[in-house]
Amino acid sequence: MSKPRKKSKKVLFVLEIIVLLLFIGGLYVYGQISAKLDKIDIKETDLAEQDIVTNDQAPQMTGYTTYALFGLDHRSKNEKLNTENSDTIIIASINNDTKAVKLVSVYRDTLLNVKDDTYSKANAAYALGGPTQAVSMLNTNLDLNITDYVAIDFDALVTVVDCLGGLDIPLSYAEIVHMNNYCVETSEETGKSYTPVELPDPKPEDEEATVGTYHLNGVQATSYCRIRYTASLDMGRTERQRRVIQMIVDKAKKAGLSTIFDIMDQVFPMVTTSVSKTEILKMIPTVIGYSIDETTGFPLDYKFATVKGSVIVPATLESNVLKVHQFLYGNTNYSPTQDVLNKSAQIINIAGGGDAVQDTAPAVTDIPNDTTDDSYSWQGDTSVDYSSGTDTDYSNDIDYSGGTDYSGGTDYSADDSDDGYDTDYSNNGADEDYSGENDYAVDEESLTDGE
């Protein structure tokens, strides 16, 4: 009888050793991650809760954690375009129980109240007041209570994709043309190389149709995320960004620990966030369970208007905020606050009313060339209550949220001379394209014109 006991003791001893090694390994990994988190530019004082503007009447979404994600247009090689507008604005909602993540991209050209009743393109808020102002803009226009953010620029996305060995992405002929053009500046800005994707020959009749799946490196994938001049305009651009985020998450889950550590070493110094190191460490044990559930863009229903350049007009803000709350939180009992109702009517008023807004983006020739007036922001009388019947719902004509042709037929992708600079289809000045040919206009991303 003694032999079995010896055997059981040996087995128990082996199990104890395994558990001990796992524990030590876990401590090692935890320590490594903790040390690497020190490289993140954590700005815990930037978003002190007393500095963030929220709507007191907005609902508190219990059971969810919501973050604001910003992709900054930071270009050290081109000071003219280096104003740090947040050209990528994503709201990420995490269900604390299921770990399902939902993403909503806010279109950069959306006409919103960006600061102190100044109405401009949504991407201007970050340049006007940093992350505090950008988060406040989301809170006050969309009835949210966001208190934390994460911000990155071109370099971080390029590096992540390269560390993961690249991404396999389906491309259309038009996307290849524009991606190759954007790669010129992305490569120059990041100091990373790329090989242009060879265009199919002959050119397909439908330039928007997928022609194949291509393995893209960091420069190429980042340039893919910047494309705005296919038929889908900025709506397609944000969809590409969310697609790439999904691919990165899926590939990172399958990557080895050495790859994850490599990403941390290289990328964390490029990240700025208000999320504390302690909070991040608490999330690590469960991060493998997170999955991106659904994604969409905001506004879901929209029109276009010309207000010193082409802007996207929520049709209406009230109805779109209602839909985004249902999407992010499954909240069917939510009703937009009076503050949102007022902003909703104000936006339509600034856009010129129901007769002025259009189903499609204005043609280039329809946009005034205001070279003498540098101001873009519109400031109005905040004492006026616009909620009493003037907030007409212009969204019942066309629903852009479920299809792929967001532009209604106007295709800005025909100018293949676009050399990859983030030009804008609004003609705010008689600027020249960097390729030596006249383009619609160079998107100077300056605070003066709000582009």
Express each pLDDT in 297-343 by its tens digit. 999 999 999 886 789 999 999 999 999 999 999 877 899 999 999 99
Give domain limits for the chain.
Answer: 38-451
Task: Enter the CATH code of domain 38-451.
Answer: 3.40.630.190
For 188-222, how does the pLDDT look when each residue is reduced to its tens digit (9 = 90+)?
Answer: 999 999 999 999 999 999 999 999 999 999 999 99
CB 376 within 8 A of CB 306: no
Name beta bridge partners: 65. Answer: 94
Nearest to 445 by CA among 189, 181, 109, 182: 109
pLDDT of residue 396: 34
pLDDT of residue 47: 57
How many angstroms separate the Cα of 156 from the Cα of each of 16, 104, 280, 410, 416? 42, 21, 18, 33, 28
Residue 118, class by beta-carbon neighbours within 10 Å (0-12 exposed, 13-18 middle, 19+ buried)?
A: middle
pLDDT of residue 427: 31
Query: What is the C-alpha end-to-end distance of the chain, expressed in Å?
Result: 84
pLDDT of residue 220: 98
pLDDT of residue 41: 79
Give the predicted TM-score (pTM) of the model: 0.76
The amino acid occupying position 447 is L
pLDDT of residue 379: 54
Q: To 10 degrees, what angle do helices 154-163 and 218-226 make?
A: 130
- Which residues does the chain have with pLDDT short of 50? 45, 78-83, 364-376, 380-451
